[in-house]
Chains A and B, each alone.
Chain A
Amino acid sequence: MWLGSEVMFFAGLFAIYFTLRSTAPELWALQSSKLNITFSGINTGILVASSFTCQMGVFAAERLQPKRTSWKLKEWGMAEWFFVTYVMGAIFVIGQIFEYATLVSEGVGLSSDAYGSAFYLTTGFHGLHVTGGLIAFLLVIGRGYAAKNFGHKEATSAIVVSYYWHFVDVVWVGLFAVIYLLK
């Protein structure tokens, strides 16, 4: 239900973006040429990869294994995989902040023009969602350490956070395609 409402929310943001874009194509051509596609492409790759490490954490949680038994990847628990996912998600957010700072110095601000508003609204709300996901990962990792008997209750919370994370990841792939690749 929550993810369904999130889909509608991001559909609204996509509609804002496309509406503004259709009214000011020259502005879009000018401002979108300032985007660093290589940088954001690498950032996108990191976020997509984090979905895979997240899923490895879910597999561990489904084995009801909260912590590693050795450093071998096959014996990692939920916590280790989620820590890796957390770091990758945090790198994505840091990269996005860096990108924002660069764009602001090049004259693309939240209130500078329609392009800036559409760009920061869509990517900014996505960034807030990633940040929320990072907090959720910390809470779930904490549950893994707090539980003396890691059971299906803990595994379920890990699985639902992974659903959310995959969703945010897919939304970013859509946003990246629309904002950075679609000319």
Chain B
Amino acid sequence: MNATARLFWVLVVFNLVLAAVYSVWHWIDTGTIEWVGTIGLALVAILSALIGFYVGRVLKSQPAVLAEDRLDANIDDGDAEQGFFSPWSWWPVLLAGGAALVFLGLAVGIWIAIIGGVLGLVFLVGWTYEYHRGYFGH
């Protein structure tokens, strides 16, 4: 986490320097300041500071050591939690079919889209509650 925060602070300095160089260079070249690029680069610096500050606060409240911070880490130590995805659910396939009917209806005839919309709603509910009812109810 520390390395991540520092990376963003490096980006802040880098972009501030670039904004100054860009602005001064343009002024020497044409005698005017080019605002779009100057403000753009300064904004990138500010946004980097925002993320750097946020990551720093997270580090302070919860001193986490990421795999990236350790020299002895392996690549699979950095595997992120990807969330839970059903390995065999049919609902996404059906839902995609409903969405396909909606778009087919927009192109061919609106009555198909209405049927697709109703089917899509049924399949959406089926997918959302797949792990909240029956055998998986909790």
Q: Is the CB–CB distance between A143 and B129 below 8 Å?
A: yes
Residues of the A chain whose Cβ atoms lie less than 8 Å from the Cβ of B133? 146
Does chain B have a CB within 8 A of A139? yes
**Majority-rule SS of A interface residues:** helix
| A174 interfacial contact with B, CB 8 Å | no
Are A147's CB and B132's CB within 8 A?
Answer: yes
| A41 at the B interface (CB under 8 A) | no
- Choose from A139, A149, A151, A153 the contact partner of B128 (Cβ within 8 Å): A139
CA distance A165 to B132 in the complex (A): 23
A148 at the interface (CB under 8 A from B): yes
Selected from A142, A148, A149, the residue in CB contact (under 8 A) with B129 is A142
The one of B124, B125, B128, B138 in contact with A147, judged by C-beta atoms closer than 8 angstroms, is B138
Residues 55 to 75 of chain B near chain A (Cβ within 8 Å): none
Which residue of chain A has the shortest Cβ distance to B125 in the bound complex?
Answer: A139
Interface residues on chain A, number (Cβ under 8 Å): 10
Chain B residue nearest in CB terms to A143: B132
B137 interface contact, C-beta 8 A: yes
In the complex, A99 Cα to B41 Cα: how many Å? 39
Q: Do A143 and B138 touch across chains, with their CB atoms under 8 A apart?
A: no
With a CB–CB cut-off of 8 A, which chain B residues contact A153? Answer: 84, 131
Q: Mark B94-138, 1 if CB is under 8 A from A, else 0.
A: 000000000000000000000000000000110011011100011
Q: What mask results when residues 23 to 37 of chain B are scored 1 for a CB within 8 Å of chain A, else 0?
A: 000000000000000
Kindly list chain A residues whose C-beta atoms are within 8 Å of the C-beta of B137.
146, 148
Residues of chain B contacted by A139 (CB below 8 angstroms): 124-125, 128
CB contacts (< 8 Å) of A149 on chain B: these are: 138
CB-contacts of A127-153 with B (<8 A): 135, 139, 142-143, 146-149, 151, 153
Which residues does B use to contact A, with CB under 8 Å? Answer: 84, 124-125, 128-129, 131-133, 137-138
A residues in contact (CB < 8 Å) with B: 135, 139, 142-143, 146-149, 151, 153
In the complex, besides A142-B125, A142-B128, A146-B137, 6 extra interface pairs with C-beta distance below 8 angstroms are A135-B124, A139-B125, A148-B137, A148-B138, A149-B138, A153-B84
The 5 listed contacts between A and B (C-beta, < 8 Å) are: A142-B128, A142-B129, A146-B129, A147-B132, A149-B138
